[in-house]
Amino acid sequence: MKPFEYEIENIKTLVNEMFDLVKDQVHLTKEALLTSDHDLSGEIMRKEKRVNAYELSVDREIEDFLALQAPVATDLRFAIAILKISASLERIGDHAYRISTLVFDEQLKVNKGIVELLQISTLFDEIDDMLINVSDALEKGEIELAKKVFKQDKTLDKINKKLPGLLDEHYKNKKNIDLHNIILISRVVGKLERVGDLIKNIAEEIIFYYESEVIRHRKKNLKISKKLGEATGEAESEKTGMEE
Amino acid sequence: MLNMETEEIIMENEVRLTKKTENLVTGNTGINTEYEIIARNLNVFYGEFQALKDVNMNILPYTVTAFIGPSGCGKSTFLRVFNRMNDYIDGFRIEGEVFVSGTEIYSNRIKLEELRRKVGMVFQKPNPFPKTIFENVAYGLRIQGVKDKHFILERVERSLKQVVLWDEVKDNLHKNALALSGGQQQRLCIARTLAVEPEVILMDEPTSALDPISTGKIEELIFELKNEYTIVIVTHNMQQAARISDHTAFFYLGELIEQGHTKDIYTNPKNKRTENYITGRFG
């Protein structure tokens, strides 16, 4: 093993640990939310400091790696991708933290009916699976696993999109509505949808690292062009099947 | 400013990763923290010219320390102080103290041949003797008076294996060393230094005459050798210093401007002159 490969191994170790921590945070957040567990949400909030510290550790390691090893090609892409991946993981940790504060500070309660209506368990399970896919993709270089999350993210988007209609339907003609609680639940779903986007960003960075392909913003730019009636490079962007 | 807890977690991560690397490289984590080399209030003169001005430095064992700085800054002079190679230069005069393994090397009691066995040196240009590969490596042992053929054979093989040259030359040990490539010759010179079991290896721009592949091999070798030896290297290649050293010292006009962990020097130098030099703004 060459000297700089030890540095890469160290950085990979840190990122793997950060993945495990964030997966755990998301998992616990589901439990805290579904059981309105005040203590557990407090524990998640405490562990958020560890997630933040991991991001700073990764930043430092990458700064040293860039300064000392002057990486090029794959190694340079690795450094750039890891910086962005750790920032995305930290943001996912933030969302888990914020959902926990809703339980901790605002005594958010979700009854079984709402959980089923808004498919909250499905949202969490999908996120769990997406996180496993991207962490495996990064560790093993299996791009197909990274690409899989683009489809999985659509499930989250669909549920989020349906939210106003579902709530409207559910509470129509009902009295004594706890509007405050409904708003908080909407926020939770919104945050989970955002977590899906962040995992998608991680997948894009993994593809950039392994295949040197930049797919960020591709589909969205295409949509904008279509709306504005501009010429598009549709054939090319259709190839990847990626979302914005 | 980070809060204490966050700082502690980051430190924990760093310490753990450093230990992990040590384990991977050495298989152990034990480090003797006594200084291998100490220079105190060192002033060096060549006649009227002062080449080094009040230099103080401590070098830990089993580390790589790189000296960087523009030409004429005194880094090679300082390197050669550690095995008294400057003694032969006309007008050379030294003030201050230099300790290697706890011994003051400029004391009258010191034996130069003993010092140079303990402190080996590798030069910019590979300088094998016009002898066979085997005799080049065995040379230091022979001048020490070692006669045991089996012992010499064993030591030559071990030294050549240490520099990862054995597989390339084992069938041609009696070929002239000058027939080897530049990179192989430099590794042979390092093997010659290792054969007498030094404690410190001084390297004066050891790769500046080599191609990138050979340079890479020497750098890998330095990374491995630091588990058993204390290495001090002078290099004009700042990126090389960054890649291979644990500590870096920046010299300018005979002064030691800044020294510290290589990571700190290359990410957050304290002195503006160091920053200007490593970012290529002068020198």
Please indicate if any CB of chain A lies within 8 Å of the CB of B164. Answer: no
Statement to judge: residues A206 and A225 lie in one domain: no
Q: Provide the pLDDT for residue A210.
A: 95
- Within 13 A of B92's CA, how many CA atoms are on the CB side? 12
**Contact (CB<8Å) B9/A3:** no
pTM of the model: 0.80
* Residue A87 sits in the same domain as residue A19: yes
**Which three-class secondary structure state does DSSP give residue B49?**
strand
Query: H or E element: which one contains A77?
Result: helix A73-104
How far A45 CA sits from the closest chain B CA (Å)? 14
What spatial distance separates the first Cα and last Cα of chain B, rounded to whole Å?
Answer: 34
- Residue A134 shares a structural domain with residue A171: yes
**Are A10 and B262 an interchain contact pair (Cβ–Cβ within 8 Å)?**
no
| Inter-residue contact B75 to B51 (CB < 8 Å) | no
pLDDT mean over B23-43: 66
Domain co-membership, A189 together with A234: no
User: B262 contacts in A (CB within 8 Å)?
Assistant: 68
Report pLDDT for B25. Answer: 43
Token pair, residue B1, equals: 């400013």
> Would the pLDDT of A202 be above 90?
yes
**CA-CA distance, B142 to B211, in Å (whole number)?**
32
Q: Do both A172 and A185 map to the same domain?
A: yes
- How many whole angstroms separate alpha carbon B231 and alpha carbon A230? 63
Tokens of B34: 């006594």
Q: Note whether B9 contacts A49, CB cutoff 8 Å.
A: yes
Q: Is pLDDT above 70 for A232?
A: no
Question: Both A195 and A147 in a single domain?
Answer: yes
Q: Is the CB of residue B98 less than 8 Å from the CB of residue B179?
A: no
Asked whether the predicted pLDDT for residue A205 surpasses 70, the reply is yes
A67 and A104 co-located in one domain:
yes
Co-location of A205 and A229 in the same domain? no
Nearest CA in chain B to A52: B6
Do A224 and A180 belong together in one domain? no
Residue B5 with chain A: CB contacts under 8 Å:
49, 53
Pair (A202, A244) in one structural domain: no
Mean of the pLDDT values across residues A202-209?
97
Q: How far apart are the first and last CA of chain A?
A: 38
Nearest to A69 among B5, B220, B243 (CB): B243
- CB nearest to A63's CB, from B5, B239, B267: B267
The number of distinct structural domains making up chain A is: 2
Which segment of A189-198, A214-223, B137-146 scores lowest on mean pLDDT? A214-223
Nearest CA in chain A to B11: A57
Residue B265 above 70 pLDDT? yes
Lowest mean pLDDT, pick from A108-122, A157-171, A227-241, B227-241: A227-241
Going by pLDDT thresholds of 50, 70 and 90, the confidence category of residue A242 is low
Closest approach of chain B CAs to the CA of A148, in angstroms? 32
Do A234 and A182 reside in the same domain of the chain? no
Tell which of B17, B64, B68, B164 to mutate to test the A interface (max A CBs under 10 Å). B17
Query: For residues A185 and A108, is the Cβ–Cβ distance under 8 A?
Result: yes
Whether residues A116 and A180 fall in one domain: yes
Each residue of A68-106: pLDDT tens digit? 999 999 999 999 999 999 999 999 999 999 999 999 998
| All residues at 6 or more sequence positions from A154 whose CB lies less than 8 Å from its CB, including other chains | A243
Question: What ipTM goes with this model?
Answer: 0.73
CB contact under 8 A, B220 and A67: no
CATH code (residue A110): 1.20.58.220
Domain that holds residue A135: 3-213
